[in-house]
Protein backbone atom coordinates (compact mmCIF):
# COMPACT_ATOMS: atom_id res chain seq x y z
CA UNK A 1 0.00 0.00 0.00
CA UNK A 2 1.22 3.40 -0.90
CA UNK A 3 -0.54 6.64 -0.18
CA UNK A 4 -0.19 10.15 -1.51
CA UNK A 5 0.14 13.18 0.71
CA UNK A 6 -0.15 16.41 -1.23
CA UNK A 7 2.49 19.08 -0.67
CA UNK A 8 1.01 21.69 -3.01
CA UNK A 9 -2.55 22.65 -3.85
CA UNK A 10 -3.40 21.47 -7.41
CA UNK A 11 -5.40 24.66 -7.94
CA UNK A 12 -3.25 27.49 -6.49
CA UNK A 13 0.02 25.78 -5.47
CA UNK A 14 -0.39 26.88 -1.82
CA UNK A 15 1.38 24.68 0.76
CA UNK A 16 -0.77 25.45 3.83
CA UNK A 17 -3.83 23.31 4.50
CA UNK A 18 -6.29 22.87 7.34
CA UNK A 19 -8.55 20.02 8.36
CA UNK A 20 -11.98 20.35 6.75
CA UNK A 21 -13.78 17.19 7.90
CA UNK A 22 -13.07 13.80 9.46
CA UNK A 23 -15.05 11.06 7.77
CA UNK A 24 -15.26 7.44 6.78
CA UNK A 25 -15.43 5.20 3.72
CA UNK A 26 -18.99 4.07 4.50
CA UNK A 27 -19.51 1.97 1.41
CA UNK A 28 -16.52 -0.38 1.16
CA UNK A 29 -13.48 -0.30 3.47
CA UNK A 30 -15.05 1.47 6.51
CA UNK A 31 -11.64 3.13 6.99
CA UNK A 32 -11.28 6.66 8.37
CA UNK A 33 -10.13 9.54 6.18
CA UNK A 34 -9.62 13.29 6.50
CA UNK A 35 -10.56 16.03 4.08
CA UNK A 36 -8.14 18.94 3.94
CA UNK A 37 -8.88 22.47 2.76
CA UNK A 38 -6.34 24.73 1.04
CA UNK A 39 -5.81 27.96 2.99
CA UNK A 40 -5.11 29.78 -0.26
CA UNK A 41 -8.15 28.97 -2.40
CA UNK A 42 -10.52 26.73 -0.43
CA UNK A 43 -9.90 23.63 -2.57
CA UNK A 44 -10.84 20.48 -0.64
CA UNK A 45 -9.04 17.17 -1.12
CA UNK A 46 -8.84 13.75 0.49
CA UNK A 47 -5.72 13.55 2.64
CA UNK A 48 -3.29 10.69 2.26
CA UNK A 49 -5.25 8.92 -0.47
CA UNK A 50 -4.19 5.56 -1.96
CA UNK A 51 -2.09 5.91 -5.12
CA UNK A 52 -3.19 4.48 -8.47
CA UNK A 53 -1.82 1.05 -7.74
CA UNK A 54 -3.34 0.83 -4.25
CA UNK A 55 -6.83 2.20 -4.87
CA UNK A 56 -8.29 -0.79 -6.77
CA UNK A 57 -9.47 -2.67 -3.62
CA UNK A 58 -11.51 0.41 -2.66
CA UNK A 59 -13.62 -0.12 -5.79
CA UNK A 60 -14.17 -3.82 -5.20
CA UNK A 61 -17.77 -4.16 -4.21
CA UNK A 62 -20.99 -5.15 -5.85
CA UNK A 63 -22.45 -2.17 -4.06
CA UNK A 64 -20.32 0.20 -6.08
CA UNK A 65 -23.02 0.65 -8.63
CA UNK A 66 -21.44 3.04 -11.09
CA UNK A 67 -19.63 0.12 -12.72
CA UNK A 68 -22.15 -2.62 -12.27
CA UNK A 69 -25.66 -3.54 -13.19
CA UNK A 70 -26.74 -4.87 -9.81
CA UNK A 71 -30.40 -4.11 -9.08
CA UNK A 72 -30.49 -5.08 -5.41
CA UNK A 73 -32.18 -2.83 -2.91
CA UNK A 74 -34.42 0.19 -3.15
CA UNK A 75 -31.62 2.76 -3.46
CA UNK A 76 -30.05 0.80 -6.30
CA UNK A 77 -33.37 0.40 -8.09
CA UNK A 78 -33.96 4.12 -7.85
CA UNK A 79 -30.44 4.73 -9.12
CA UNK A 80 -31.13 2.70 -12.26
CA UNK A 81 -34.37 4.54 -13.02
CA UNK A 82 -32.68 7.87 -12.43
CA UNK A 83 -29.80 6.83 -14.69
CA UNK A 84 -32.13 6.20 -17.65
CA UNK A 85 -33.82 9.59 -17.20
CA UNK A 86 -30.51 11.37 -16.70
CA UNK A 87 -28.97 9.83 -19.85
CA UNK A 88 -31.67 11.47 -21.96
CA UNK A 89 -31.21 14.79 -20.15
CA UNK A 90 -27.44 14.65 -20.60
CA UNK A 91 -27.82 14.02 -24.34
CA UNK A 92 -30.20 16.97 -24.69
CA UNK A 93 -27.91 19.24 -22.68
CA UNK A 94 -24.84 18.31 -24.71
CA UNK A 95 -26.66 18.99 -27.99
CA UNK A 96 -28.10 22.29 -26.76
CA UNK A 97 -24.88 23.59 -25.23
CA UNK A 98 -22.62 22.52 -28.11
CA UNK A 99 -25.19 23.77 -30.63
CA UNK A 100 -24.57 20.57 -32.59
CA UNK A 101 -26.89 17.74 -33.51
CA UNK A 102 -24.11 15.52 -34.77
CA UNK A 103 -20.41 15.63 -34.11
CA UNK A 104 -17.61 13.71 -32.48
CA UNK A 105 -17.69 12.93 -28.80
CA UNK A 106 -15.25 11.38 -26.34
CA UNK A 107 -16.68 10.14 -23.05
CA UNK A 108 -13.96 9.67 -20.43
CA UNK A 109 -14.68 7.24 -17.60
CA UNK A 110 -17.53 5.82 -19.62
CA UNK A 111 -18.26 2.81 -17.38
CA UNK A 112 -20.59 0.49 -19.26
CA UNK A 113 -20.69 3.05 -22.10
CA UNK A 114 -24.43 3.79 -22.02
CA UNK A 115 -23.91 7.49 -22.65
CA UNK A 116 -21.83 7.18 -25.86
CA UNK A 117 -24.24 4.48 -27.01
CA UNK A 118 -27.15 6.90 -26.68
CA UNK A 119 -25.21 9.65 -28.46
CA UNK A 120 -24.30 7.24 -31.26
CA UNK A 121 -27.98 6.40 -31.70
CA UNK A 122 -28.61 10.14 -32.11
CA UNK A 123 -26.06 10.36 -34.93
CA UNK A 124 -22.79 11.20 -33.12
CA UNK A 125 -19.37 9.65 -33.76
CA UNK A 126 -18.41 8.36 -30.34
CA UNK A 127 -15.48 6.89 -28.42
CA UNK A 128 -15.04 5.99 -24.79
CA UNK A 129 -12.23 5.72 -22.27
CA UNK A 130 -12.60 3.33 -19.37
CA UNK A 131 -9.99 2.09 -16.95
CA UNK A 132 -11.91 -0.97 -15.71
CA UNK A 133 -11.15 -3.98 -17.94
CA UNK A 134 -14.45 -5.76 -17.23
CA UNK A 135 -16.47 -2.68 -18.14
CA UNK A 136 -14.43 -2.24 -21.33
CA UNK A 137 -15.04 -5.84 -22.29
CA UNK A 138 -18.78 -5.55 -21.63
CA UNK A 139 -18.92 -2.45 -23.83
CA UNK A 140 -16.92 -4.19 -26.60
CA UNK A 141 -19.37 -7.11 -26.61
CA UNK A 142 -22.47 -4.93 -26.74
CA UNK A 143 -21.54 -1.88 -28.81
CA UNK A 144 -19.77 -1.09 -32.05
CA UNK A 145 -17.56 1.81 -31.02
CA UNK A 146 -14.10 1.96 -29.47
CA UNK A 147 -13.64 2.00 -25.71
CA UNK A 148 -9.95 2.36 -24.82
CA UNK A 149 -7.96 2.08 -21.61
CA UNK A 150 -6.65 5.18 -19.78
CA UNK A 151 -3.08 5.02 -21.18
CA UNK A 152 -4.59 5.40 -24.67
CA UNK A 153 -6.15 8.67 -23.53
CA UNK A 154 -2.89 10.06 -22.22
CA UNK A 155 -1.14 9.14 -25.50
CA UNK A 156 -3.87 10.69 -27.66
CA UNK A 157 -2.63 13.25 -30.18
CA UNK A 158 -4.04 15.42 -32.92
CA UNK A 159 -7.72 14.63 -32.37
CA UNK A 160 -10.37 17.26 -32.72
CA UNK A 161 -13.37 16.22 -30.64
CA UNK A 162 -16.39 18.49 -30.74
CA UNK A 163 -17.33 17.42 -27.23
CA UNK A 164 -15.46 15.73 -24.37
CA UNK A 165 -17.55 14.59 -21.41
CA UNK A 166 -16.62 13.42 -17.92
CA UNK A 167 -19.72 12.52 -15.94
CA UNK A 168 -18.72 12.07 -12.29
CA UNK A 169 -15.19 11.07 -13.22
CA UNK A 170 -12.77 13.95 -12.63
CA UNK A 171 -13.06 13.58 -8.85
CA UNK A 172 -11.55 10.07 -9.23
CA UNK A 173 -8.58 11.04 -11.40
CA UNK A 174 -5.06 10.81 -9.94
CA UNK A 175 -3.24 12.44 -12.86
CA UNK A 176 -5.25 15.66 -12.92
CA UNK A 177 -2.72 17.77 -14.83
CA UNK A 178 -2.10 15.16 -17.55
CA UNK A 179 -5.82 14.62 -18.09
CA UNK A 180 -6.57 18.33 -18.37
CA UNK A 181 -3.64 18.85 -20.76
CA UNK A 182 -4.64 15.89 -22.97
CA UNK A 183 -8.26 17.00 -23.14
CA UNK A 184 -7.29 20.53 -24.10
CA UNK A 185 -4.98 19.27 -26.86
CA UNK A 186 -7.59 16.95 -28.36
CA UNK A 187 -10.63 19.21 -28.18
CA UNK A 188 -11.58 21.26 -31.26
CA UNK A 189 -10.99 25.01 -30.89
CA UNK A 190 -14.74 25.58 -30.77
CA UNK A 191 -15.27 22.36 -28.76
CA UNK A 192 -17.13 21.90 -25.51
CA UNK A 193 -15.72 20.23 -22.39
CA UNK A 194 -18.41 18.98 -20.00
CA UNK A 195 -17.62 17.99 -16.41
CA UNK A 196 -20.13 16.86 -13.78
CA UNK A 197 -18.86 16.67 -10.20
CA UNK A 198 -20.36 16.66 -6.71
CA UNK A 199 -20.69 20.04 -5.04
CA UNK A 200 -19.41 20.22 -1.45
CA UNK A 201 -20.93 23.71 -1.27
CA UNK A 202 -24.47 22.37 -1.76
CA UNK A 203 -27.14 22.52 0.99
CA UNK A 204 -27.20 18.72 1.24
CA UNK A 205 -23.40 18.58 1.73
CA UNK A 206 -23.68 21.21 4.46
CA UNK A 207 -26.56 19.34 6.09
CA UNK A 208 -25.06 15.82 6.05
CA UNK A 209 -21.43 16.87 6.76
CA UNK A 210 -19.28 13.72 7.25
CA UNK A 211 -22.20 11.52 6.14
CA UNK A 212 -22.63 13.24 2.77
CA UNK A 213 -22.48 10.31 0.35
CA UNK A 214 -20.84 12.26 -2.46
CA UNK A 215 -17.60 12.69 -0.50
CA UNK A 216 -17.21 8.97 -1.19
CA UNK A 217 -13.64 8.77 0.16
CA UNK A 218 -11.09 7.57 -0.81
CA UNK A 219 -12.50 7.03 -4.33
CA UNK A 220 -13.16 10.76 -4.61
CA UNK A 221 -9.81 12.48 -4.28
CA UNK A 222 -10.93 16.04 -5.08
CA UNK A 223 -13.93 18.06 -3.92
CA UNK A 224 -14.48 21.33 -5.78
CA UNK A 225 -16.87 24.07 -4.72
CA UNK A 226 -18.06 25.97 -7.83
CA UNK A 227 -15.86 29.05 -7.33
CA UNK A 228 -12.79 26.84 -6.87
CA UNK A 229 -13.61 24.72 -9.90
CA UNK A 230 -13.72 27.84 -12.09
CA UNK A 231 -10.19 28.75 -10.92
CA UNK A 232 -9.03 25.21 -11.60
CA UNK A 233 -10.51 25.34 -15.12
CA UNK A 234 -8.79 28.68 -15.84
CA UNK A 235 -5.46 27.30 -14.69
CA UNK A 236 -5.81 24.63 -17.41
CA UNK A 237 -6.92 27.01 -20.15
CA UNK A 238 -10.69 26.55 -19.95
CA UNK A 239 -13.45 29.02 -19.26
CA UNK A 240 -16.65 27.90 -17.56
CA UNK A 241 -19.37 29.35 -19.82
CA UNK A 242 -22.38 27.81 -18.08
CA UNK A 243 -23.33 25.70 -15.08
CA UNK A 244 -26.36 23.48 -14.71
CA UNK A 245 -27.73 21.40 -11.86
CA UNK A 246 -28.00 17.62 -11.95
CA UNK A 247 -31.22 17.70 -9.94
CA UNK A 248 -31.84 13.96 -9.65
CA UNK A 249 -28.47 13.47 -7.96
CA UNK A 250 -29.70 15.31 -4.89
CA UNK A 251 -32.30 12.61 -4.19
CA UNK A 252 -29.92 9.73 -4.65
CA UNK A 253 -27.11 11.31 -2.63
CA UNK A 254 -29.49 12.31 0.17
CA UNK A 255 -30.98 8.82 0.46
CA UNK A 256 -27.55 7.24 0.55
CA UNK A 257 -26.40 9.80 3.14
CA UNK A 258 -29.38 8.90 5.36
CA UNK A 259 -28.35 5.26 5.02
CA UNK A 260 -24.80 6.10 6.16
CA UNK A 261 -26.27 8.01 9.11
CA UNK A 262 -28.26 4.85 9.90
CA UNK A 263 -31.38 7.00 10.20
CA UNK A 264 -34.78 5.55 10.65
CA UNK A 265 -37.08 6.51 7.78
CA UNK A 266 -34.02 7.10 5.61
CA UNK A 267 -36.07 6.98 2.41
CA UNK A 268 -38.52 9.67 3.55
CA UNK A 269 -35.79 11.89 4.99
CA UNK A 270 -33.66 11.40 1.91
CA UNK A 271 -36.50 12.45 -0.36
CA UNK A 272 -37.12 15.47 1.87
CA UNK A 273 -33.51 16.69 1.72
CA UNK A 274 -33.23 15.81 -1.93
CA UNK A 275 -36.27 17.96 -2.60
CA UNK A 276 -34.90 20.85 -0.52
CA UNK A 277 -31.64 20.85 -2.50
CA UNK A 278 -33.41 20.39 -5.81
CA UNK A 279 -35.76 23.28 -5.05
CA UNK A 280 -32.87 25.61 -4.18
CA UNK A 281 -30.93 24.56 -7.27
CA UNK A 282 -33.76 25.43 -9.68
CA UNK A 283 -32.58 28.99 -10.17
CA UNK A 284 -29.18 28.57 -8.49
CA UNK A 285 -27.36 25.77 -10.34
CA UNK A 286 -24.29 26.28 -8.18
CA UNK A 287 -26.32 25.17 -5.13
CA UNK A 288 -27.03 21.83 -6.78
CA UNK A 289 -25.83 18.61 -5.16
CA UNK A 290 -23.85 17.97 -8.35
CA UNK A 291 -22.95 20.69 -10.81
CA UNK A 292 -22.39 20.32 -14.55
CA UNK A 293 -19.73 22.70 -15.87
CA UNK A 294 -19.71 23.59 -19.57
CA UNK A 295 -16.31 24.84 -20.67
CA UNK A 296 -14.72 26.23 -23.80
CA UNK A 297 -11.03 26.72 -24.54
CA UNK A 298 -9.60 30.11 -23.68
Q: Which lies closer to Zn ion via its Cβ, residue 47 or residue 249? A: 47
Give which of 266, 279, 207, 290 is closest to 78, Cα–Cα: 266
Q: Is 6 in the site for Zn ion (CB under 5 A)?
A: no
Q: Which lies closer to Zn ion via its Cβ, residue 12 or residue 97? A: 12
For residue 240, the minimal CB distance to Zn ion (Å) is 17
Stretch that binds Zn ion, among 5-13, 121-129, 204-212, 280-288 (CB under 5 A): 5-13
For residue 43, the minimal CB distance to Zn ion (Å) is 4
For residue 17, the minimal CB distance to Zn ion (Å) is 8
- Find the binding residues for Zn ion in span 207-246 (CB under 5 A): none
Q: Which lies closer to Zn ion via its Cβ, residue 14 or residue 31? A: 14
Q: Is 14 in the site for Zn ion (CB under 5 A)?
A: yes
Separation between Cα atoms, residue 139 and residue 287, nearest integer Å: 34
Stretch that binds Zn ion, among 3-11, 92-100, 104-112, 130-138 (CB under 5 A): 3-11
For residue 11, the minimal CB distance to Zn ion (Å) is 4
For residue 221, the minimal CB distance to Zn ion (Å) is 15
Q: Which lies closer to Zn ion via its Cβ, residue 41 or residue 242? A: 41
Number of amino acids touching Zn ion (CB under 5 A): 8
Stretch that binds Zn ion, among 13-21, 101-109, 201-209, 288-296 (CB under 5 A): 13-21
- Find the binding residues for Zn ion in span 15-74 (CB under 5 A): 38, 40-41, 43
- Point out which residues pair with 104 in neighbouring strands: 125
Q: Which lies closer to Zn ion via its Cβ, residue 8 or residue 121? A: 8
Stretch that binds Zn ion, among 14-22, 156-164, 248-256, 273-281 (CB under 5 A): 14-22
Q: Which lies closer to Zn ion via its Cβ, residue 9 or residue 248? A: 9
DSSP string spanning the chain?
--EE--SS-TTT----EEEEEEEE-TTTT--EEEEEEETTT--EEETTEE-TTTSGGGG--TT-GGG-----SHHHHHHHHHHHHHHHHHHHHHHHHHT-SS-EEEEET-TT-HHHHHHHHTT-EEEEE-S-HHHHHHHHHH-SS-EE-HHHHHT--S--EEEEEEES-GGG-S-HHHHHHHHHHTEEEEEEEEEEEE-TTSHHHHHHGGG-GGG-TTT--EE--HHHHHHHHHHTTEEEEEEEE-HHHHHHHHHHHHHHTT-TTHHHHHHHHHHHHHHHHSS-GGGSSEEEEEEEE-
- Sites of contact with Zn ion (CB under 5 A): 9, 11-12, 14, 38, 40-41, 43
Amino acid sequence: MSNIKLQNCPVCNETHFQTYLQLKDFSISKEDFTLMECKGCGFIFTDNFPDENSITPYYKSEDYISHSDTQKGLVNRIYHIVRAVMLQKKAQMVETMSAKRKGSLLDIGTGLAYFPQLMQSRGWQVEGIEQDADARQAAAQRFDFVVNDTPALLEMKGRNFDVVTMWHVLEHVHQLDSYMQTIKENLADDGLFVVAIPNPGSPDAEHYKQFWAAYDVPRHLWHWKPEVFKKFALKHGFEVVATKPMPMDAFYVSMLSEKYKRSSLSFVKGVFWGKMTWWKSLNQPEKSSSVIYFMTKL
